Chain A
Amino acid sequence: MPKILRVLFWIAVSLLGALALATTALHRGEQINALWLVVAAVATYAVGYRFYSSFISAKVLALDPLRATPAERLDNGRDFVPTNKWVVFGHHFAAIAGPGPLVGPVLAAQFGYLPGTLWIIAGAVLGGCVQDFVILLFSVRRDGKSLTEMAKSEIGRVGGVVAYVAVLSIIVILLGATALIVVNALKSSPWGTFTIAMTMPIAVLMGFYLRRIRPGKVLETSVLGFVLVLAAIFGGQWVSETPSWAATFTLTAPTLAILIIVYGFAASSLPVWLLLAPRDYLSTFVKLGTISLLAVGIVALRPSLNMPPLTRFADGSGPVFAGTIFPFAFITIACGAVSGFHSLISSGTTPKLIRREPETRLVGYGGMIAESMVAIMAMIAASVLQPGVYFAVNSPAGIVGQAPEVAATTISSWGFPVTAAQMASLAHAVGEQTLYNRTGGAPAFAVGMAQIFSNTLGGHAVMALWYHFAIMFEALFILTIIDAGTRVGRFMLQDALGHIWKPLGRTSWYPSILFTSAVIVAAWGNFLWQGIKDPLGGINSLWPLFGICNQLLATVALCVATAIIVKMGRLRYVLVTLVPLCWLVAVTFTASWHKVLDPNPRIGFLAHARQLAATGANPRLIFNDRLDAAVTGVLVVMVAMILIESGFECMRVISGQKSAVTKEAPFVMTSLAMEEQA
C-alpha cells in the first residue's frame, strides 16, 4: 500500500476511535448501541498495537530478529519448541483467558458502563499489554526464566521472596473467590448443578476414549465431549422439571462449598489423569467456542445498552461492592486491563515457544488485546440488562432484603425500577426458581448473554438453554482453574517446604502430596467458607482482595521490568513501564488502605469487625475480617519492600555506583533467519 494511503488509513482509524470514545463517554439520556464500545475498543487497540507496541519494540526493547531465542537454542521437542507465531498467540491467549475478564467487568458495571470501559481500553493499551509484552521478551532473553527467578536475579533476594509469596497468595485467594462464584451460580439450581455434575462422567468417558480408542486425538474427543455436554444441558431441563430429581440436585450453598472443597482436594492429591486432562481440554474447547460465539453475536446483533454510563453508585455506596470508582473500579477489573497473573504465563510456557524475538510483540501485546476485548464483551453483556434486573441479580440479601417484594422496592427506590413479578418472570424464562442475590457476576453475565442470543437465535423460548449454557461454560472452566490451581499451589508449597525438609519437596511422595494438598485446599476453602457465610455475599470482600493481590503482582512484574530497562541503559524510555507502575502503586495502596482502615464497615475490614463485635456477632465472622485485613497488610508491606529495593537498585545504576549488568543469556546468532531466506 502506498505510504499516503497508509497514513490516511491510520488517520481514519484514529478519528473513528476518537468518535466512538466520545460517543461512549459523552452520550447522555438515551441508550447507545453496544457497537460504539466495540468500535472504540478495536480502533484504540489497533492504534496502540500499530504505533505504541512498535515504538516499544524498536526503541525500548530493541527486538533483535537475529538473536536466537531459547526455543531455538534449547530446542528439545518438549518444553522448548520453536513454534509458529500464530500458534503461540493462540496458545498464550488460551492460557491467559479465564473467568476474570468476564466477572470483573460485570461487577464493575454497578458504576455504569463508562468507568469500566475506559479503564479496560486505556489500562490494556498502556499497562496490561506493555506488562505482558516486556515480561515475555525479558523471559525470552533469559532462557524462559520465571518472574520469581527474574525478580531474584535482577532486583535481589527480597524480590524473589515477595514474588513467590504474592503468587501463592493470589492463587489461594483466586481459588476461594472463583469457587464462590460457582457456588452462587449453582445454589438452588438443579438444572445448573446437574449439568456441571454430568461433566465429570463425560470427562471420564473422554479419558477412556482418548486413551484406549483414539490415542492422542484430543480435538476429536473434545468435540465428542462438547456434544455430550450439550445433551447434559437438555437433560438438566428435564431434571429441573421432574420433582424427585430436582430435589436431589437442589443444593444449598454450604453443601456445594463442601463438595467443591472435596473435589479440589481429590483433584490435587489423586492421580486422576482420567478426569482432569479431558476436563481441561473440554473446558478450553468450550471457552474458545463461547468467546468466539459471543463476539460474533455482539457484532451481528448489535444490542443496545440499558445501563446508564454512570450510576449513582460512583459515590461508593454500591450494593455489589462498596467503594468509590477510584480505586475500586481499577482493582475490580484486573484481567482485561492489567493482570499480574499474566506475567506468570508470559514467563512460563510461552517464552519457550517463541521462534523469533520480534514475535513477542504479537504474542505479548496482541494476546492481551484479545483478552481485553473479552472484557469489553462482558461489559456489554452486563450492560444490556435492565439496571433494575442487574442490581436484583447482583445485590446480596444483606443489602436489598430477602423477600422479593422488599428487594424490588429497595432497588426501585435507587432509581432503577424493577418489580417482583418481572424478576419472577425472568427467573421462569431462564429455568431458575429465583435470580435474586446471585452475587458473583456469573449469573448476571449468563442472563445478559442469554438475552443477547435469545433475541434472534431461537427466540425467547430457548432463553433457558442459553442461560444454562453460559452457566455451564463459566462453572466448567472455573472448576478447571480450581483443580489446576490447587495443583500449582501444591507444587509451589512442596518446592518451598523441600528447603526445610527434603522429603516434603518430593512431588511423588504421597504423604507430602496429601499434606500440601490439604494445606492449599484448607487455605482457599477457608476463603470460600468465609464467602458463603458473609451476610454481604462474600464477593464484597473477596473480589477486591483478589483484585488487590492481582494488581500487586502486576506491580512486582512492572518493578522487575523497570529495573531491567534501567540496567539496559534505556533510562530515557523508562516511563513506558514506570507510568503504569506508579498508577498501580497508587491504585493498590489506596485500595488496601481503604479495605483495611476505612471507617465505613462496608468497606474497611477492621471497621466491619468492630461493628460485628459491637453487635455480638459470631466470632468466626470477626476473625475472617481480621484475617482479610492481615493478608492485605502483609502483601502491601512486602510489595513496598520490593519497590524500595528496586528503587535503590535503579538509583545505584543511574548514579554509577553499580555497573549496569543484566542477566541476559549470551547472544547467539539465529539460524532461522538464514533458513527462511533460503
Chain B
Amino acid sequence: MKLNRSRRDGRIRPSSRAKRGGLLSALTHMASVSRAILREIFDESAYQRFLERSQLESSPNAYAVFQQENEQAKSRRPRCC
C-alpha cells in the first residue's frame, strides 16, 4: 500500500492508489510503517519536527540544541520494568 506522507512525520494516510491493495503494496506499506515507527522511537522524527519548527538546517549545532531541549522531557519519562 502506498503512503502519502504529510508535512509532519507520523501522519501517514493511504492514497487512493494504495486502496487497490496487492501483496507488493501491502509489503511496502508495512515497511513504511515500520520505518516510521523506528524513526519515532529513535527520535529521528522528533529531530525533524524540531528542524521544521525552528527553521534550521541539520547541523551539529542544531542537533546539540535539539538534544538539550529533548533531554529535560526525556529524563522525566518513566521507563517500564
Q: Is A205 an interface residue (CB 8 A)?
A: no
Supposing A87-B37, A91-B37, A211-B63 touch, asked if A216 and B58 sit within 8 A by C-beta, the answer is yes
Q: Is A178 an interface residue (CB 8 A)?
A: yes
Q: Give residues of chain A (341-365) contacting chain B, Cβ–Cβ below 8 Å.
A: 341-342, 344-345, 348-349, 353, 355
A219 lies within 8 A of B44 (CB): yes
Which partner residue on chain B sits nearest A353 by CB separation? B10
Q: Is A94 an interface residue (CB 8 A)?
A: yes
Instruction: Please count how many residues in chain A sit with their CB below 8 Å of the partner chain's CB atoms.
Output: 62
| Complex-state Cα separation, A342 to B79, whole angstroms | 9
**Chain A hits for B77, CB < 8 A:** 95, 348-349, 484, 488
Q: Give residues of chain A (273-291) contacting chain B, Cβ–Cβ below 8 Å.
A: 273, 277, 280-281, 284-285, 288
Q: Is A514 an interface residue (CB 8 A)?
A: no
* A-contact 0/1 string along B9-45, CB 8 Å cutoff: 0111100000000000000000001001111111111
Interface of B is mostly: helix
Interchain CB contact (< 8 A) of A91 among B40, B44, B63, B68: B40
Q: Is A217 an interface residue (CB 8 A)?
A: yes
Interchain CB contact (< 8 A) of A485 among B13, B50, B79: B79
| Complex-state Cα separation, A86 to B1, whole angstroms | 15
B60 lies within 8 A of A211 (CB): yes
Interchain CB contact (< 8 A) of A95 among B13, B33, B39, B79: B79
**Chain B hits for A29, CB < 8 A:** none
Interchain CB contact (< 8 A) of A676 among B13, B66, B79: B13
Interchain CB contact (< 8 A) of A83 among B10, B62, B71, B74: B10
**A452 shortest CB reach to chain B, Å:** 24
Q: Is A664 an interface residue (CB 8 A)?
A: no
Which partner residue on chain B sits nearest A335 by CB separation? B81
B33 lies within 8 A of A178 (CB): no
Supposing A83-B11, A219-B44, A484-B75 touch, asked if A174 and B81 sit within 8 A by C-beta, the answer is yes
B79 lies within 8 A of A84 (CB): no
* A-contact 0/1 string along B42-81, CB 8 Å cutoff: 1111111110110000111011101111011111111111
B66 lies within 8 A of A216 (CB): yes
Which of A62-70, A96-104, A300-308, A496-504 lies at the interface with chain B? A96-104
Which partner residue on chain B sits nearest A222 by CB separation? B42
Which partner residue on chain A sits nearest B76 by CB separation? A491
**A642 shortest CB reach to chain B, Å:** 20
Which partner residue on chain B sits nearest A171 by CB separation? B78
| Complex-state Cα separation, A344 to B78, whole angstroms | 7
Which partner residue on chain B sits nearest A75 by CB separation? B8
| Complex-state Cα separation, A341 to B79, whole angstroms | 9
B10 lies within 8 A of A210 (CB): no
B80 lies within 8 A of A339 (CB): yes
**Chain B hits for A485, CB < 8 A:** 78-79
B58 lies within 8 A of A215 (CB): yes
**Chain A hits for B36, CB < 8 A:** 84, 86-87
Which partner residue on chain A sits nearest B10 by CB separation? A83
Supposing A215-B58, A277-B71 touch, asked if A87 and B80 sit within 8 A by C-beta, the answer is no
B11 lies within 8 A of A82 (CB): yes
| Complex-state Cα separation, A335 to B74, whole angstroms | 22
A86 lies within 8 A of B33 (CB): yes
Supposing A84-B33, A86-B36, A487-B75 touch, asked if A216 and B47 sit within 8 A by C-beta, the answer is yes
| Complex-state Cα separation, A171 to B11, whole angstroms | 34
**A335 shortest CB reach to chain B, Å:** 5
**Chain B hits for A2, CB < 8 A:** none
A94 lies within 8 A of B10 (CB): no
Supposing A215-B59, A215-B62 touch, asked if A77 and B12 sit within 8 A by C-beta, the answer is no
Q: Is A507 an interface residue (CB 8 A)?
A: yes
Interchain CB contact (< 8 A) of A216 among B41, B44, B68: B44
| Complex-state Cα separation, A98 to B81, whole angstroms | 5
* B-contact 0/1 string along A148-177, CB 8 Å cutoff: 000000000000000000010001001000
Supposing A77-B53, A211-B64, A216-B58 touch, asked if A87 and B75 sit within 8 A by C-beta, the answer is no
**Chain A hits for B66, CB < 8 A:** 216
Q: Is A81 an interface residue (CB 8 A)?
A: yes
Interchain CB contact (< 8 A) of A97 among B53, B67, B71, B80: B80
| Complex-state Cα separation, A90 to B74, whole angstroms | 17
| Complex-state Cα separation, A83 to B40, whole angstroms | 9
| Complex-state Cα separation, A342 to B78, whole angstroms | 9
Q: Is A218 an interface residue (CB 8 A)?
A: yes
* B-contact 0/1 string along A83-117, CB 8 Å cutoff: 11011111100111111100000000000000000
**A163 shortest CB reach to chain B, Å:** 13
**Chain A hits for B43, CB < 8 A:** 218, 281
Which partner residue on chain B sits nearest A218 by CB separation? B42
**Chain A hits for B38, CB < 8 A:** 90, 219
**B16 shortest CB reach to chain A, Å:** 12
Interchain CB contact (< 8 A) of A345 among B48, B68, B78: B78
Q: Is A572 an interface residue (CB 8 A)?
A: no
**Chain A hits for B75, CB < 8 A:** 484, 487-488, 491
**Chain A hits for B67, CB < 8 A:** 211, 273, 277
**A523 shortest CB reach to chain B, Å:** 16
* B-contact 0/1 string along A15-35, CB 8 Å cutoff: 000000000000000000000
A81 lies within 8 A of B10 (CB): yes
Which partner residue on chain A sits nearest B62 by CB separation? A215
Q: Can you give 27 contacting A-B residue pairs, CB < 8 Å?
A: A77-B8, A81-B49, A83-B40, A87-B10, A87-B36, A87-B40, A87-B45, A90-B41, A91-B37, A95-B77, A98-B81, A100-B81, A211-B63, A212-B60, A215-B60, A215-B62, A216-B63, A218-B44, A219-B38, A273-B68, A281-B42, A349-B77, A480-B79, A484-B75, A484-B77, A484-B79, A491-B76
Sample of 6 more A-B contacts, CB < 8 Å, known A90-B41, A222-B42, A344-B80:
A77-B8, A84-B10, A273-B68, A281-B42, A339-B81, A480-B79
Ranked 3 nearest A-B pairs via Cβ: A90-B37, A215-B63, A83-B10
